[in-house]
Amino acid sequence: MAKIKPPDPARLLHDLEHSQELKPEVVAGAELDPQLALLRTWQSERLSRTYADLLADKRYSPACRFFLADIYAPRDFSQRDHDLKQIYAYLARVVPVQMLQLLTDTVELNDLTSRLDRDLLRVLIDRLGVAGTITPQLYATGYRVCDNYADRKYQIDLTTRLLKKVAEGARLAVVGLAMKAVRGPAERAGWGELYDFLERAYAAFRPMRDAKPFVRTVQQREMRILDQIFAGVPDPFSV
């Protein structure tokens, strides 16, 4: 059987910049619905409080800030996610599998989070009468009314998996080399937003020598909060 030759990196990078099939499509920027923005702002502030110690730790602060800005944030990620789906087949040939998995997990997490947030928002507004202020008690009650413990647990599991993938990829020299090689062609071809996301992820986790304590802390705290919410603990966000 003839040996299959690996793709030529130079050729693939040329395709990234010049192929008509890889021309990016601009997705009309959409401002988040004010009510959804209110919910996600509250969630981001809650995460900042829950992980205040990690944010203050120079080993973990960049990774925390990456998640607060690029994963759980009151922002519209439609352009990034659209770009990923459009360019996925190409990226599979040129980007190390660790970074490709990061992208697919990110989109899955973002899609799941969007669905869960919209379900929660409907409960908060339509059944609990939330207007301009969300309190911890109302938020926890909304969780229980939604009654989707399994989905919320999967959200935590997916977040944990994503953290592990980012950390593993950031430690590999091949990932750093791929990032440098792709930068110019990606920016010239119009894939700058997607590339910038990858670069921020790489830079955030690169300084972390051992990500296991960080990942374990996130998983344990989020599961504790989830269990306390569904158990009806008066202050479920205390960890």
- Other CB atoms within a 10 A radius of the CB of residue 141 amount to 17
Residue 134 has what pLDDT?
A: 96
Angstrom distance (rounded) from CA 72 to CA 162: 13
What H or E segment, with its residue span, contains residue 5? none
What residue has token string 């693939």?
12
Q: How far apart are CA 152 and CA 150, in angstroms?
A: 5
Query: Radius of gyration of the chain from Cα atoms?
Result: 20
Backbone dihedral angles phi then psi of residue 110, each to the nearest 5 degrees: -65, -40
Amino acid at 209: R
Residue with tokens 């603990």: 233
pLDDT for the residue 3: 39
Instruction: Pull the structure tokens for residue 30.
Output: 């959409």
Burial of residue 197 (CB within 10 Å: 0-12, 13-18, 19+) is buried
Give yes or no for a contact between 169 and 96, defined as CB atoms under 8 angstroms apart.
Answer: yes
Residue 114 has what pLDDT? 85
Going 208 to 213 to 219 to 222, the CA torsion angle's sign is negative
164's CB contacts (< 8 A; 6+ apart) are 211, 215
Helix (H) or strand (E) holding 216: helix 212-231
> Model's pTM, two decimal places?
0.77
Q: Taking a C-beta distance cutoff of 8 angstroms, is the pair 101, 175 a contact?
A: no
Distance CA 17, CA 115 (A): 34
Give pLDDT, residue 38. 92
Question: Which are the contacts of 53, defined by CB distance < 8 A and separation ≥ 6?
Answer: none
User: Contact, 111 vs 80, CB < 8 A?
Assistant: no
Distance of CA 69 to the CA centre of its chain: 9
Domain ranges of the chain: 31-231
Q: At 164, is the secondary structure helix, strand, or coil?
A: helix
Cβ of 86: how many Cβ atoms within 10 Å? Answer: 18
What does each of the 239 residues of the chain score in pLDDT, given as a tens digit?
A: 333 344 444 555 555 555 555 555 666 555 678 898 899 899 999 999 999 999 999 989 998 998 888 877 777 777 777 777 677 666 666 666 666 676 777 778 878 988 999 999 999 999 999 988 999 999 999 999 999 999 999 999 998 988 887 777 666 555 655 666 666 666 666 666 677 777 787 778 777 778 889 999 999 999 999 999 999 999 999 99
